[in-house]
Structure 1
C-alpha cells in the first residue's frame, strides 16, 4: 500500500505558509500596516482550507492545534486564541465543504468565511482582554475589509498552483 506524500507535505506546507505570512507582513509592513488600514496575511488558512477540501488529511485537528500554538507563541505571546480558532476553522471547513460540490467558487466562499471568522474572533478576544481599543466600525473598515481584499487576491493567484500540488501529491 502506497502512502500519499501529502501526509508529509501538509504539516510542512502549513508551517511554511504560517512563516511566509509573517515574512510577507514584515517585508511589506509599510504597505500593509498604515494609519488608515491594516492587512493581515492569512496564507496558512488558504493552505489549510485547500488541503481540507481536496485531500483526506491525516490528523488535521492535531496539526491545526500545533500551528495555532506556534502562531500564538511566535506572533502574539498569548497562548490560546489561535490554538482554539484554527481547529474550529478546520471543523467548519469540513462541515461546509460536505454540503457542496468542489469548485473554485465554493472553496473561495469557504475561505472568505474562514478569514472573516478568524479575523473577527481574534478581534473579539483582543477586545475582551484589553489588547485593542478600536470600535467595531473601525475594525470592519480598517482591518476586516482590507484583509479580505488582500486574501481574495492571494487566493485567486494561488488557487490553481496549490490545487494541482495537492492533487499531484495526494495520489
Structure 2
C-alpha cells in the first residue's frame, strides 16, 4: 500500500492544481495578476532530492506528458520542461547543502526557470505577445509568491514523506 502513496499524492496534486485554478478568485486583485500553482512540480523536486532521483525524473516525464495533454495546446513543452527542470534542480542541489531552506529556495528558482521557459516557448511560437516585463509583473512574481506559500506549508511534510519513501526503496 505504501508503494502507491507517492503516485496517489502526485495525482492528487495534479488534480488539485486544476481545482485551485478554478476555485481561486480571479478578481481577488482586480484580475490584474495570474497565479499559476506549480504544486506538482514542487513535489517532484522534493521527491527527487529527498526520495529518489530516478523516480523524480520518471514522474517528471509522466506528469509532463499528462500536463501537456490536459492543459496545453502544444504537446511537448511540459513533457520536455518538467524532467529538465528536475534535472537542473538535482544538479544545483548536488553543489549546495540539502537543507530544507535551500531546497525550497532552489525550488522557487526552478519554478522561475520553468515559467520563463514556457513564456519563451509561447513567445517563439506566437501564442503570446507579452513583453518580458509585463510577463514578470503579471505572471512570474505572483506565481512565485503563491508557490512560496505552498512550499512554506508543504516542505516539511514532503521532506518526511519522501525520506520514508527512500528508506522503503533501500529496504526492498
Structure 1 length-normalised TM: 0.88
Q: What's the CA shift for 1:41?
A: 0.3
Once the two structures are TM-superposed, the CA of residue 29 in structure 1 deviates from its matched residue by 4.4
- Equivalent residues of 2:81, 2:114 under 8 A apart: yes
Q: Which residue of 2 is the match for residue 78 of structure 1?
A: 74
Matched length: 167
Provide the alpha-carbon RMSD of the alignment. 2.0
Equivalent residue runs for 1:82-101 within 5 Å: 82-101=78-97
The answer to whether the Cα contact below 8 Å between 2:44 and 2:59 also exists between their aligned partners in 1 is: no
Q: Which runs of 5+ in 2 are unaligned?
A: 168-172
Q: Deviations over 1:106-164 (max 9, x none)?
A: 10121011110110001111111111111111001110011001101110011112222
**1:40 match: secondary structure:** coil
CA spacing shift, 1:15–1:68, aligned 2, 3 Å: same
Write the distance in 1 (CA, Å) between the matches of 2:84 and 2:26: 31
Question: Aligned-pair distance for 1:70?
Answer: 0.5
> In the alignment, does 2:130 pair up with 1:137?
no
1:96 and 1:32 mapped to 2: Cα distance?
Answer: 35
- Selected match of 1:12 from 8, 11, 16: 8
Q: Which has the higher helix share?
A: 2
Q: Specify every segment of 5 or more residues in structure 1 that has no aligned partner in the other structure, as ranges.
A: none
